[in-house]
Amino acid sequence: MSSKKQKKFISLIFDNFENLQKKEISDKKKKKELPIFSDGETISGTVIIDQKHNKKQIIEKIQIQFIGQIRMLYEKGTTHDFIKITKNLNEKNKIEIHQEYTFNFQNCQMKYESYHGINAKLDYLIRVIIQKQSKTDTQDFKIWVNNIKKAPKKNDSIKMEVGIPNSLDMRIGIEKSKFHLLDVVLGEVSYLKVKIRLKYMEVSIIKREVTGTGTIIYTESETLTKFEIMDGSVVKGEKIPIRFFLESLNITPTYQNIDNKFSVNYYLNIVLVDEENRRYFKECEIYFFRNSLDSKNKKTLFSKSFFEFSQK
């Protein structure tokens, strides 16, 4: 089975394709499954050249490339290759109607994870280039890269305060600031002083994609989830637990200044609204990392509900 076969002339089969984990993506309104690899793995397979439905021509050269590239969508299709390895599969040869060539890229450097965002895309692909006497045919076969990282040794808690002089003193505590993608965010809101009437409080996770360099910077913000943890008035001394699950969210690891092209950061945002509809904000950055390649097989001890809260 080929992972991608757009042309009958050139196709490619990745070794052990059926047993590789897959990533489903949308490409030009079509859903595709890409094989998943990780940094340092070997990528191998077979390239199939079939001229059964094409005019048989002398092929000058067949090359195969392993490419890592970043595409900034506002640059109208311009790509930036941060890695490219080229190998020759054959030299001048009158090809038969059907010919197969094996390839092998050992210990591929894939330090960045694949990413498809609003203004930036980071892709890895295998490119087959066939040079003929009259023209050159090119076909790309994308892969997806996920990388496991060790849990950080230092993981500080988050402490925030929301205060209005002589009216409100609220403390927010989150037990840590760095989370894996299947983690649970746990914390607590404490009210030390309440002399205004409050309507509700919301907690949200914000994703910010920053692209560009110098004076040309584009920032796109997206609210991934938002929910109320308080509805109605509270009194001094009241505590509200925070508990919500990341597994259900469409989050990626944090991307920090990838090849000087883009960054993706995440923020925990707290919004408090009083009865006069005045809004009070507090925000802090949180860090996400991947510690498992397969969330589907991971057993969780928590309920399937996305979030839980209760008032004591």
- Band (pLDDT 50/70/90 cuts) for residue 311 is very low
Residue 119 contacts residue 71 (beta carbons within 8 Å):
no
For residue 153, tell me if it sits in a domain. Answer: no
Q: What confidence score (pLDDT) does residue 306 get? A: 33
- Distances in Å between the alpha carbon of 289 and those of 147, 171, 256? 9, 27, 11
**Which structural domain, as residue segments, surrounds residue 88?**
10-145
Is there a single domain that holds both residue 166 and residue 298? yes
Is residue 154 over pLDDT 80? yes
Exposed / middle / buried, residue 122 (Cβ in 10 Å: 0-12, 13-18, 19+)? buried
pLDDT winner (highest mean) among 110-114, 171-175, 210-214, 231-235: 110-114
Is there a single domain that holds both residue 114 and residue 189? no
Is there a single domain that holds both residue 119 and residue 258? no
- Band (pLDDT 50/70/90 cuts) for residue 95 is low
Amino acid in position 293: L
How many whole angstroms separate alpha carbon 186 and alpha carbon 179?
11
Task: Determine the average pLDDT of the residues in 58-76.
Answer: 90
Q: What confidence score (pLDDT) does residue 75 get? A: 82
Is there a single domain that holds both residue 56 and residue 163? no
Task: Determine the average pLDDT of the residues in 93-112.
Answer: 86
Helix (H, G, I), strand (E, B) or coil at 297: helix
As for how many domains the chain has, the answer is 2
**Segment 274-310, tens digit of pLDDT:** 888 888 888 999 999 999 755 444 443 333 333 333 3
For residue 152, tell me if it sits in a domain. Answer: no
Per-residue b/e over 243-262, b at no fewer than 16 CB within 10 Å?
A: bbbbbebebbbbbeebeebb
Is there a single domain that holds both residue 171 and residue 295? yes
Q: What confidence score (pLDDT) does residue 68 get? A: 98
- Distances in Å between the alpha carbon of 160 and those of 59, 268, 270? 66, 11, 9
For residue 47, tell me if it sits in a domain. Answer: yes
Q: How many CB atoms lie within 10 A of CB 77?
A: 7
For residue 204, tell me if it sits in a domain. Answer: yes
Long-range contact set of residues 83-89: C-beta below 8 Å, sequence gap at least 24? 83/109, 87/63, 88/61, 88/62, 88/63, 89/47, 89/62, 89/63, 89/64
The domain boundary residue, chosen from 124, 145, 166: 145
For residue 4, tell me if it sits in a domain. Answer: no
Is there a single domain that holds both residue 197 and residue 295? yes
Q: What confidence score (pLDDT) does residue 88 get? A: 93
Is there a single domain that holds both residue 96 and residue 173? no
Q: What confidence score (pLDDT) does residue 55 get? A: 65
Q: What confidence score (pLDDT) does residue 91 get? A: 63
Residue 294 contacts residue 157 (beta carbons within 8 Å):
no
Is there a single domain that holds both residue 64 and residue 190? no
Q: What confidence score (pLDDT) does residue 168 get? A: 83
For residue 276, tell me if it sits in a domain. Answer: yes
Task: Determine the average pLDDT of the residues in 102-122.
Answer: 97
The domain boundary residue, chosen from 87, 120, 145: 145
Is there a single domain that holds both residue 233 and residue 296? yes
24: domain CATH number is: 2.60.40.640
β-partners of residue 289 are: 180
Q: What confidence score (pLDDT) does residue 213 get? A: 81
For residue 224, tell me if it sits in a domain. Answer: yes
Is there a single domain that holds both residue 92 and residue 187? no
For residue 84, tell me if it sits in a domain. Answer: yes
Q: How many CB atoms lie within 10 A of CB 14?
A: 22
> Which residue has better confidence, 76 or 226?
226
The domain boundary residue, chosen from 78, 113, 145: 145
Give the chain's mean pLDDT: 86
Is there a single domain that holds both residue 175 and residue 304? yes
Is there a single domain that holds both residue 128 and residue 249? no
pTM: 0.85
How many whole angstroms separate alpha carbon 20 and alpha carbon 25?
16
